[in-house]
Amino acid sequence: MAPDRPQVHQVLATLGYGDAIGHEVLGIQRVLRRAGYESDVFVETADYRLEHLTRDYRDLVAVSRADNVLIHHFSIGSRASRVAYALPDKMVLVYHNITPPEYFIGVHPVLVQQCFMGRRELRAYVRRVMLALGDSEYNRLELDAAGFSETGVLPVIPDFSHLEGPKDPFVAQQFDDAWTNIAFVGRVIPNKKIEDLIRIFHAYKTRYNPYSRLLLVGSLAGFDLYFAMLQDLVARLGTPDVFFLGHVRNEELRALYDVVDVFLCASEHEGFCVPLIESFYRRIPVIAYAASAVPATMDGGGLLYTNKDPLEVADLIDSVVQDPELEDRIVRAQDAALDRLRARDFDRTLLGFVEQVLGRPAPEHPVADQWEQYRLVERLSELRRGRPALFQALPAEPDGRAPAADGSGPGR
C-alpha cells in the first residue's frame, strides 16, 4: 500500500454489540481494508466486547488529512460528532435515522431533547459533507428533505455471520416445546410499539391459541418508565406468557430464532429494521405493520398489515400458524426478497461512493473557528460538571430574572 494513499476512516458516537449500526460499521471496515485502504473506527464509547476494534475519537485528530475520507455515522449529537465536523477530511455522512422526539414524550424527557437536537443538528452538515447517504431509500428521502444536495443509498450489508456458529440453548430451551412462540427482536423503546404487540398477543392467546407465548428480545436499558407501563398493561389485561428477555448475546439469539414460529412487528418508525431480514434469513414467517421503511425492507416478503385492530392481526397470525401452505408461500417470498438484497453489490457501491469523493476537491470548510468553539464548549462542560456553583454567580438577566442553572439562558 502506498504510504501517501488517502485513508478512509469511520467515526460514530458509540459502537454497540449486536446492533445493526455496529454490524454495518464493521462490515464497511472489512470492505475498505480488502480494497487496500487504511481504515480505523473512531468512537466516543464502545461495548467492552468491541473496544479492541476501535480507537478513541480524539485520536482522529492525529491522522486527519485534507485528502482523507471520513465516513461519519450520524446519530444524536456527541463530542465525536463535533470533532468530526471540525476536521478537514472529506466527509461522507451515513444517516441511520433519528426517531422523532414525540415518541418519547412522557417517557424519557432527556431523549425528547436529544432527538430534537439531533434532527436539528443534522441540518448543520448540509454544507459540511460532500455526500450524504441513507441506509435505505426512506432515510435518503429524509436527507433530501433536510436540504442535502447530493444523496444516495448505501444499503444495509446482508451479513448474517452473527447468526452462524455455536448456540447457547440456556435461554431458549424453556421455550422449545409444542407451544407457538411469537417473537419480536428490538429495543424495548416506544417507537417499537411494544404495547401494540402485547394487545395483539392477548387477542391471539385468548381467542385462538392458549398455548402460545410472546418473546420480546431486546435491551430494556434506559426506559424503566416505559417498561413499567408495559408490565402494567400485561397485568391489567391479565395476559400470561409474555417474556421480556432483555439484551441477549449472539449465541443466545441464534438459539432463540430456532424456537420462533412467527416474527411479529408493530413498530411505527424504522429506518430499515434489520431483524426483519434476520427472520427472512432464518426462514421465520414475518407479519409486520406497514410503516416508515418496513414495506421497502420487506420488499414483497412476509405479510404487511395496515390496521392495528388486535383481533384482525390475531386472525392473520392464526392463519399463518394453522395453514402450512400459506406459511410456505410467505417464506418463499421472503427467500426471494432476501436473494434480491444479497444480489446488490455492496462492496462496489461503497467503493464507488468513496472514489467519487476522493476524485473531487474538498469544499471550503463552513466554520473557520470551529476548533476554538469546540475548546470553549469542552471547557464549559467541564465547569458544569465539576463546579456547578459557578453558574449561581452569573449576573441576573436584564428583566431581573435569575440565570438558568446550566448557564444556557434565562431562568425559568
Closest alpha carbon to 213 in 236, 192, 182, 237: 182
Report the range of poorest mean pLDDT among 98-112, 278-292, 393-407.
393-407
Question: Over the stretch 358-394, which tens digit does the pLDDT of each residue have?
Answer: 999 887 776 555 556 656 666 777 777 777 777 666 6
Q: What are the CA-CA distances from residue 162 to residues 18, 60, 281, 294 (Å)?
A: 8, 28, 12, 22
| Start-to-end C-alpha separation, the chain | 59
Name all domains of the chain by residue range, CATH numbers in brackets. 8-158+345-368 (3.40.50.2000), 170-343 (3.40.50.2000)
What is the rounded CA–CA span in Å between residue 209 and residue 204?
6
DSSP string, 276-339: HHHHHHTT--EEEE--TTHHHHHTT-SEEES---HHHHHHHHHHHHH-HHHHHHHHHHHHHHHH
Residue 409 has pLDDT above 60, yes or no: no
Q: How confident is the model at residue 193 (pLDDT cuts 50, 70, 90)?
A: very high
Closest alpha carbon to 265 in 294, 241, 233, 226: 294
Residue 410 has pLDDT above 50, yes or no: no
Burial 342-368 (b: 16+ CB within 10 A, else e): eeeebbebbbebbeebbeeeeeeeeee
Contact 136, 272 (CB under 8 A): yes
Q: What is the mean pLDDT of the chain?
A: 90
Q: How confident is the model at residue 140 (pLDDT cuts 50, 70, 90)?
A: very high
Q: What are the CA-CA distances from residue 322 to residues 1, 30, 328 (Å)?
A: 59, 43, 12
Compute and round to an integer the Cα radius of gyration of the chain. Answer: 24
Question: Over the stretch 171-185, which tens digit does the pLDDT of each residue have?
Answer: 899 999 999 999 999
User: 27 or 389: whose pLDDT is higher?
Assistant: 27
What is the rounded CA–CA span in Å between residue 156 and residue 154?
7
Residue 411 has pLDDT above 50, yes or no: no
Q: 3-class DSSP state for residue 152?
A: strand
Would residue 300 be called left, alpha or beta, if left means φ above 0 and alpha means ψ between -120 and 50 degrees? left
What is the rounded CA–CA span in Å between residue 43 and residue 35?
23
pLDDT at 219: 93
Q: What percent of the chain has pLDDT over 90?
A: 70
H or E element, residue 197: helix 194-207
Closest alpha carbon to 120 in 138, 153, 147, 154: 147
Residue 1 has pLDDT above 60, yes or no: no
Q: How confident is the model at residue 196 (pLDDT cuts 50, 70, 90)?
A: very high
pTM given for the model: 0.82
Angle at CA 97, nearest 5°, toward 18 and 8?
Answer: 70
Question: Over the stretch 261-314, which tens digit does the pLDDT of each residue have?
Answer: 999 999 999 999 999 999 999 999 999 999 999 999 999 999 999 999 999 999
**Which DSSP letter does residue 215 get?**
E
Report the range of poorest mean pLDDT among 36-40, 56-60, 114-118.
114-118
C-alpha grid cell, residue 91: 466527509
